[in-house]
Structure 1
């Protein structure tokens, strides 16, 4: 299968997205913007999966995309909003892999959706109407990457202004803990936030899509998956392996979230899961204000396709 990554490659040869942090006024609403361009023959078929800890908007502009639901492949087209995922979400693409979008900050869920996040967890829905048309416009010339990022920021900014949604600082704090210190217990976090665990559970489900224990457990797993993919953030992910008590524990988590053992994951290219995982790690670098070069990106390869 011939493929040409246009938006970056890791030192281990995995195709990556081009991503960037949002402007300051959008930082409480959007986790990160991304563009993924992998050139492939029109008849090339890829079956892979996604696993995202936050909801996100994805706008495919090329290729024919399908998801596996209730035992069959279902085609979709145009802008989509995906709920957060607690296990692998099967996706199939025929032709080039070309898409742009952004990850939502969970505390800002109501700036983008009308219903609680748990109603969209492990699912996706088409974005139509004026919001869908605005997203199509933003991504209509996706290979002009800087313009695409600027347009995405513009339409997101307009969406936020129109909805005027409030953000709960306690949920922002829970999000930070879940990403940077996911080994803590739910009871301990609830005490810090001044909530009883049941109330925390209700609020987290409404904005993150899953209960707090799932959010923390998935974060620990994704940290370890990033280490195995060579995407570890210095200092932040040094303890990732120590969170797993033994090989059987690690094997159990990989089977739960990805339905495969760790050794198989190491050997299996994941052209859709890996770029999403790398965007997560890029965000961690930004949150930690690390000024160094991204350690896993292959040198002397373009990060953009202009």
Structure 2
């Protein structure tokens, strides 16, 4: 295949991205900044997929990119917002795989989009206008890695300041639960957040893109996918495995989300999915190192939050 992963490689030989924790003033808006450089021949074609639990803004800088929509491959270029995905999202690239961007915090969705997240889920939309130009500028010298990260922070900071979005701590709390304790029943979470389940469903769809049950189910699946890819932290594998009743349950989840059984996933390179999975794991490690855990900013029920 002629791969030269410039931004990292796993212990099992899978190309990885380089990712960064956002600075403190952006931590409620951005989960992680990333940059991916995989050098390949100009005519090399890779067909893979993405599966993100949160929306991404991605700026492909080099290579010819296509996504599969309704069975047809559609080319695209420039900055894109990828909604959260409930199943594998087919993507292919010809040439080097070079892109940068960031993972959005769901509670901050409306700082980056004018429409609810469920309208962008399982699809992508081009970003044009001044915001698109700012993202292009941020990534125009993508091989200057530090400069690219600094510029991405700058344009996000300007975007956030201009939008003036109020973030609901209840949604931040749901995000933390979905990542760190995804086996909890939705009704139990709703009670903790002081909401009826229907209201929680409405808020989660608007910011996460999918219903609460899907958000939690996908999180459990991605934890196990990271284990099988050798990307999870020590001790996480046993905890992730306990969330599945037996081998048939695990097989059913892999077929639902990726349309392949777990053994095949374990032995098949996923050139575009793996870097995103690794960014997710790096975020978990960074938060654990900061002793963040579930202790996120939280307003008890009764304290005013963002408008419904």
Shift of 1:288: 1.2
Q: Which residues of structure 1 form unaligned runs of 5+?
A: 292-306
Shift of 1:60: 0.2
**Superposed CA offset, 1:152-201 (max 9, x none):** 00000000000000100000000000001101110111111111111100
TM score, norm. by length of structure 1: 0.94
Q: Is the 8 A contact 2:68 2:74 kept in 1?
A: yes
Cα separation, 1, equivalents of 2:112 and 2:57: 10
Aligned to 2:239, what secondary structure does the other structure show? Answer: coil
Cα separation, 1, equivalents of 2:175 and 2:222: 14
Cα separation, 2, equivalents of 1:61 and 1:170: 36
Shift of 1:234: 2.9
Cα separation, 1, equivalents of 2:255 and 2:57: 27
Aligned to 2:57, what secondary structure does the other structure show? Answer: strand
Q: Which residue of 1 aligns with 2:149?
A: 149
**Superposed CA offset, 1:65-114 (max 9, x none):** 00000110000000000000000000010000000000000000000000
Q: CA RMSD in A?
A: 0.9
Cα separation, 2, equivalents of 1:126 and 1:153: 20
After the TM superposition, which of the residue ranges 23-32 and 231-240 deviates more from structure 2?
231-240
**Superposed CA offset, 1:182-228 (max 9, x none):** 01110111111111111100000000000000000000000000000
Cα separation, 1, equivalents of 2:288 and 2:237: 12
Q: Is the 8 A contact 2:251 2:261 kept in 1?
A: yes
Q: Which residue of 2 aligns with 1:303?
A: none
**Superposed CA offset, 1:18-54 (max 9, x none):** 0000000000000000000000000000000000000
TM score, norm. by length of structure 2: 0.93
**Superposed CA offset, 1:247-306 (max 9, x none):** 110000000000000011011101110000000000001111269xxxxxxxxxxxxxxx
Cα separation, 2, equivalents of 1:96 and 1:262: 28
Q: Which residue of 2 aligns with 1:131?
A: 131
Q: Which residue of 2 aligns with 1:16?
A: 16
Q: Which residue of 1 aligns with 2:160?
A: 160
Q: Is the 8 A contact 1:180 1:236 kept in 2?
A: no
Is 2:25 aligned against 1:25?
A: yes
Which has the bigger relative contact order, CA under 8 A and spacing at least 6?
Answer: 1
Aligned 1:1-306 pairs, distance under 5 A: 1-289=1-289
Q: Is the 8 A contact 2:227 2:236 kept in 1?
A: no
Q: Which residues of structure 2 form unaligned runs of 5+?
A: 292-308
Cα separation, 2, equivalents of 1:156 and 1:290: 23
Q: Is the 8 A contact 1:39 1:97 kept in 2?
A: yes
Q: Is the 8 A contact 1:38 1:96 kept in 2?
A: yes
Shift of 1:237: 4.7
